[in-house]
Amino acid sequence: MTAETDANASDADSGDSLTLALAQIHVEAGEVEANVDRALEAVSRAADRGADLVALPELFNVGYFAFDLYARNAEPFAGETFGRLRAAAADHGIAVLAGSIVEDLSATESIETPADEGLANTSALFDAAGELQLVYRKHHLFGYESAESDLLVPGEHVETATVGEFTVGVTTCYDLRFPELYRRLVDDGVELVLVPSAWPYPRIEHWETLSRARAIENQAYVATINGSGEFDDATLLGRSSVYDPWGVPLASSGDEPALVTTEIDTEAVADVREEFPALRDRRL
């Protein structure tokens, strides 16, 4: 049993605020039932803390680095993992970013897909009533010492959703290295970007610098949700964090399991963009 620590911070004292929780759960390769149980427990704990929205890491059910288990554990969009998290969102009255699972596109119905077959790295955002608000399939598939780009097909669509007073977008892990995707989200009105991830050691500086840069250049909140755990060839570095529109870290964790919570405010986004209007000076 892996102990879980807590990290808390407070940012918003007034205005249209939202309490955000990042569930940095322990992920074991292929232990789907145990991993999903940890995710559900984290949702419950976040709700008990009064969170409005809780976000989970990338491939939290099977484990990102368990490449040989992707096909065996792939699920349709309406499969058990998303179904249980949808129900948990409704039961606890909290929005849940179930990010992400290996989706079997050939078995998925009624959800716009980028291919008729294959596997995708798919996140889903459910609101506090358990209703689906957003689907995101990872756009940039990692190829460096990784089988992801060989095993999965990339997503093609970018969606936004509303949680409280926030316009929310989602990207996934390696997407952090591609700033044009974040510009597209900002052009769509996004004020908070959730980034479920499975970022390993030793690239701590990349993880922290890229996340902070995406917040600074887009003058938006960026919340990075990493996992915790060891695989045969990699160890997740944790360090789930929330950055404000100035790039200031509001809350973060170490590399052990943790529930990171902080309060964020839509007025802060508008205030920063008004005080330092860099986005207005873009030349396309």
* CATH code of the domain containing 262: 3.60.110.10
What are the tokens at 256? 């052990």
Is 8's pLDDT higher than 50?
Answer: yes
HSE of 134, CA atoms in CB hemisphere, 13 A: 27
Q: Which helix (H) or strand (E) holds 242?
A: strand 241-243
Count the domains in the chain: 1
Average pLDDT, the chain: 93
Read off the pTM: 0.94
Is 12's pLDDT higher than 90?
Answer: no
Nearest CA to 68 out of 236, 199, 252, 231 is that of 231
Cβ proximity of 236 and 27 under 8 Å: yes
pLDDT value of position 143: 85
Cβ proximity of 182 and 158 under 8 Å: no
**51-71 average pLDDT score:** 97
Catalytic residue from among 4, 31, 58, 191: 58
Is 260's pLDDT higher than 80?
Answer: yes
Residue 262 bridge partners (DSSP): 20
Under 8 Å CB-to-CB from 53, ≥6 apart: which residues? 18, 19, 20, 21, 94, 95, 96, 97, 163, 164, 168
Residue 3's pLDDT band (boundaries 50, 70, 90)?
very low
Is 80's pLDDT higher than 60?
Answer: yes
pLDDT value of position 112: 63
Task: Give me the percent of the chain exceeding a pLDDT of 90.
Answer: 88
Question: Is residue 159 annotated as part of the catalytic site, yes or no?
Answer: no
Domain span including residue 189: 5-281
Residue 192's pLDDT band (boundaries 50, 70, 90)?
very high
pLDDT value of position 133: 98
Nearest CA to 165 out of 12, 10, 9, 274 is that of 12
Catalytic residue from among 103, 148, 173, 263: 173
Of 3-7, 105-109, 110-114, where does mean pLDDT reach its minimum?
110-114
**42-63 average pLDDT score:** 98
pLDDT value of position 113: 56
Question: Is residue 191 annotated as part of the catalytic site, yes or no?
Answer: no
Could you report the per-residue pLDDT of 231-244, keeping only the tens digit for each?
Answer: 998 999 999 999 99
pLDDT value of position 13: 47
Is 255's pLDDT higher than 70?
Answer: yes
Residue 5's pLDDT band (boundaries 50, 70, 90)?
low
**101-127 average pLDDT score:** 84
Question: Is residue 173 annotated as part of the catalytic site, yes or no?
Answer: yes
With both helix axes pointing from N to C terminus, report the angle between 80-92 and 32-48 in degrees, rounded to the nearest 10.
20
Catalytic residue from among 31, 103, 138, 148: 138
